[in-house]
Amino acid sequence: MKLVLCSQSPRRREILSMLGKDFEVRVANIDESFDESKPVSEEIKRIAEKKALAIDLKNDEVLLSFDTVVVCGDLVMGKPKNRCEAIKMLRTYSGTSHGVITGICVRTREKTFTDSEYTEVYFRNLTDCEIEYYVDTNKPYDKAGGYGIQELAGSFIKKIDGDFYNVVGLPLCRLCEILKEEFSIDLF
């Protein structure tokens, strides 16, 4: 069995490498736009599966694909496109909670399984100075929701309810459960 990660994210690579297993990275170039008329959890699974289906597999390969969004109220937060958008996102989170949803798709040549993982993240009240300082580090722009819990923005977070690694972009616990329960693959 050979693992294939369908993601350019350095954070997902880091998390997957914690398992101590060799893996290859293959990236699918697909349209990741959302159908806003459908439930976010269904759309995020659809996109993860779409990425997985765009990759050719060999017989012994297990493909792992993910897509992550942040949801705050009725707003779906992707990656901020500019400074103003990043500041607006962080102000929206200040003093409240939001959800992080990751779509998961595990695929072999014989089977495809999709699921999603949800984690609630609680931010403390942020000052404009803190928000602008973080945004000026240029860290928000490659992350769904405009922040990384594993870096400086971790100081904004009072608590989380759910999988820490889901907030980073790869729900490690759920992935291991899927591999074991659905594919009879025990990584340990």
Report the catalytic residues: 67
* Residue 186 CA from chain centroid, whole number: 23
* Residue 83 CA from chain centroid, whole number: 21
Joined together, the tokens standing for residue 28 give 């699918």
Q: Which amino acid would we find at residue 66?
A: F
What single-letter DSSP state applies at residue 47?
Answer: H
Helix (H, G, I), strand (E, B) or coil at 112: strand
Joined together, the tokens standing for residue 175 give 């992935």
Is-contact 5 13, C-beta < 8 A? Answer: yes
